[in-house]
Structure 1
Amino acid sequence: MRQQIGTTGRGLAVAAAVALMAGMALTAGAGTASAQPSSSSPAFDSLTSASHPDWMSGLPDGVGLGALSVPGTHDTLAIHGGLAPWAYEAQEDHGDGAATLDAQLNAGIRAIDIRVRVVNNGTAFAIHHTDVYQNANFDDVLTHAQAFLAAHPGETILMNLHGECDADTAEGGSGTASIGHCADDPASTTTADRIRVFQSYLARYPGLFYAPTVTGTSTAAMPSLGQVRGHIVLTAFSGPVGEIYPGYGLTQLTQGNWGSYVENDWTQCTTSTKWSEARGNIAAASADTSGAMFTTYLSANCSPFGAGPADVAGGTWFTTGVNQLALNDLTGSGGSQLSHTGVVLMDYPGYALIGALLSRDGIGG
């Protein structure tokens, strides 16, 4: 098992008995139990069945990022789930240390959702899904992204960066991790501390990020693809309770009415309703002529007592998954009328769903 920088992650429990087990297991390290789906389809859990490592390279330099259809992953590296993997795992497991990110990027994913915990006495970021360590650290993410962009310089990666731990005293928490809640190290970590840690990575990876999105003093206008090829675009940097850190990201997604461009009803697990909400935001993206970037989440999670990420994305015996509903729509007559979809963040995306999004960019195959 890969070692986390600093202290260990903790598992989620869904009932009193499991909670007790979790308490007993706190010294055992990050959870490695798996609830990876046992079946797949073209819409679900099959992203490596097609490859699109250079799909942006053929697009014009002058196209704005907001005018694209960009496949992405929600909770990009959530491949471990502690004692309740069905509640935590959200992506296909293609390996620790951000090897899973490699698989996603090669499949055409270009928007990633990175959740971090401050570790090692306030000096580094580890990748978490709440209290579960994902056997990867921020260095892994940046190293793998840098290698991908070096090999495919016509591409860019959009990154949403989020501080995951809401149990810190500065966030009004107890300062102690609990089931479903992580605490940073130290638990007194503040906004300024998270920014300082991030800045240390910027110093170690000079030129990797598109510079106007990481100044720390001002945000960036929506760039064209030609401006950001070969770089990570930081779309937003946010804290554990959703606060937007000023001076980072894209202006449109961090200031003013930025929330009006985002659909993320993450507790709506009735798949038909979830897709209807998502489709409305995608339609708004298509109709927009201002160059704004719309972001739509197909993901939702109602565990422990309702559907988990795989059930929402892939469906059950009784429901059609959101991913399949999206694929049906995007490849049908309605989808053909969309000029573009904006950024679409998915759990367990399938190769055909990725391809359907890319078809709006004129990408075939």
Structure 2
Amino acid sequence: MRLTSRITPRLTSRITPRLTSRITPRLTSRITPRLTSRTALRLLTPVALAVLLAATTGGGSASAQPTTSTPAFDSLTQQSHTDWMASLPDSTGLGALSVPGTHDTLAIHGGLAPWAYEAQEDHGDSAATLTAQLDAGIRAIDIRVRVVNSGTAFAIHHTDVYQNANFDDVLTHAQAFLTAHPGETVLMDLHGECDADTTEGGSGTSSIGHCADDPASTTAADRMRILQSYIARYPGLFYAPTVTGTSTAAMPTLGQVRGHIVLTSFTGPLGEVYPGYGLSQLTGANAGSYVENDWTQCTTATKWGEAQSNIAAAGADTTGAMFTTYLSANCSPFGGGPADVAGGYLWQTGVNQLALNYLTGSGSSSRTGVVLMDYPGYALIDAILNRDGAAG
């Protein structure tokens, strides 16, 4: 997500040190809880809002976690599905499954603009939120990383906001879960989040909605080298054919990947696919025909129409291909944020509820493929799992 696509360079250039200095403690104290609601903040002038957004480069203590929930939205942990894959035959093709997942899996912090950055229920830092998701039945995760510590490690980010978790946290929690539940697998999409690097055509400096790696000269080869260092430190955790660095993997069966993380793809800040990683079907030239991810479409009925078409395509497919559908979208700071789109806002029904209505109604597809969600509710997770006939 690139929040600055709506904050132009001309606008951000006007946010000078002199202007920033005018936001005094007295002014800040007037930003009451009522004013900092999503509706009120949208009434700020573009310059004032951009200055507030500039403070979002750290995790911060502000939160826009929803205060209401429904069976489709923001009720992740009301049911547990720790072993649902264990009941399925080993011969089941991974692409034939209906898999609930989370978009921007660990996006639980957002500084002073949390409504624009937070996309998941907050169940704790250091990837404790991931364990909560896995316990609830989530099996597809979307991990966004920034290179840190002088090019030696990955930290978890949502654009320029650190999410109080590192890649070691992700792998440690995933490994603990898979050890306790060896019949399961976890699908991971790994994405380099920072597009401000000099090698990507950026300024080399973090700005609103854009992070720079450490160092800002980080290259694709550097990111692949760092991933290989993690693979070496967690032997056997990844399904080996997806992390060779030299070739991609055919679609495996569930029996082949139980107890492992399957790296579905590894992409760079501009979406470039890193060769030698992931599943062949999702990293080849035709990969886009299996994925729906219109993340800037925040009219929920339109967004759901796009998602429904891809889910229907998954249900009609007879080749065993893995279809991936994102229910998520984000038009902040001047439109709906992740919680708005997922849960509903103004006169619009949330995409999560529209998906639940479809999956529990007549005429819906026999399988969904992978469905990545913001703020998933327990009933929506159940509705996806019901397509697998899974228990546990």
Selected match of 1:348 from 375, 379, 382: 375
2:145–2:191 CA contact under 8 A, matched in 1: yes
2:109 maps to 80
Does 2:179 align with 1:150?
A: yes
Paired with 1:113 and 1:240, the residues of 2 have a C-alpha distance of 14
Does 2:220 align with 1:164?
A: no
Does 2:89 align with 1:60?
A: yes
1:298-309 alignment to 2 at 5 Å? 298-309=327-338
2:199–2:217 CA contact under 8 A, matched in 1: yes
1:31–1:133 CA contact under 8 A, matched in 2: no
Give the secondary-structure state (helix, strand or coil) at the position aligned to 1:17. helix
Shift of 1:293: 0.2
1:350-365 alignment to 2 at 5 Å? 350-363=377-390
- Give per-residue Cα distances to partners, 1:198-248, cap 9 Å, x unaligned: 111001001000000000000000000000000000000000000000000
Selected match of 2:236 from 207, 215, 220: 207
Shift of 1:132: 0.2
Paired with 1:25 and 1:68, the residues of 2 have a C-alpha distance of 38
2:4 maps to none
Paired with 2:60 and 2:254, the residues of 1 have a C-alpha distance of 39
Selected match of 2:277 from 225, 245, 248: 248
- The letter for the 1-side match of 2:140 is A
2:50 maps to 19
1:219 maps to 248
Does 2:132 align with 1:103?
A: yes
- The letter for the 2-side match of 1:274 is K
Shift of 1:256: 2.2
Give the unaligned 5+ runs of structure 1. 1-12
Shift of 1:364: 5.5
- The letter for the 1-side match of 2:352 is N
The percent identity for this pair of structures is 81
- Give per-residue Cα distances to partners, 1:301-344, cap 9 Å, x unaligned: 01111110000000024110000000001000022xx2211000
2:144–2:192 CA contact under 8 A, matched in 1: yes
1:286–1:340 CA contact under 8 A, matched in 2: yes
- The letter for the 2-side match of 1:345 is L
Paired with 1:263 and 1:318, the residues of 2 have a C-alpha distance of 24
Paired with 1:288 and 1:25, the residues of 2 have a C-alpha distance of 43
Paired with 1:296 and 1:63, the residues of 2 have a C-alpha distance of 20
Give the secondary-structure state (helix, strand or coil) at the position aligned to 2:345. coil
Paired with 1:25 and 1:282, the residues of 2 have a C-alpha distance of 35
2:182–2:259 CA contact under 8 A, matched in 1: yes
After TM superposition, where is structure 1 displaced by more than 6 Å over at least 4 residues in a row? none
- The letter for the 2-side match of 1:19 is A
Selected match of 1:91 from 120, 126, 130: 120
Does 2:62 align with 1:33?
A: yes
- The letter for the 2-side match of 1:165 is C
Give the unaligned 5+ runs of structure 2. 1-40
Paired with 1:135 and 1:240, the residues of 2 have a C-alpha distance of 20
Change in Cα spacing, 1:284 to 1:168, as seen in structure 2 (3 Å) is: same
2:56–2:110 CA contact under 8 A, matched in 1: no
Does 2:219 align with 1:190?
A: yes
2:286 maps to 257
Paired with 2:94 and 2:315, the residues of 1 have a C-alpha distance of 13
Provide the alpha-carbon RMSD of the alignment.
Answer: 1.4
1:315 maps to 344
The two structures have a TM-score, normalised by structure 1, of 0.93
Paired with 1:327 and 1:245, the residues of 2 have a C-alpha distance of 35
Selected match of 1:296 from 313, 321, 325: 325
1:108–1:354 CA contact under 8 A, matched in 2: yes
2:53–2:113 CA contact under 8 A, matched in 1: no
Q: How many residues align?
A: 349
Give the secondary-structure state (helix, strand or coil) at the position aligned to 2:171. helix
Paired with 2:115 and 2:165, the residues of 1 have a C-alpha distance of 20
Paired with 1:18 and 1:333, the residues of 2 have a C-alpha distance of 45
1:5 maps to none
Shift of 1:32: 2.6
Change in Cα spacing, 1:271 to 1:62, as seen in structure 2 (3 Å) is: same
Give the secondary-structure state (helix, strand or coil) at the position aligned to 1:244. coil
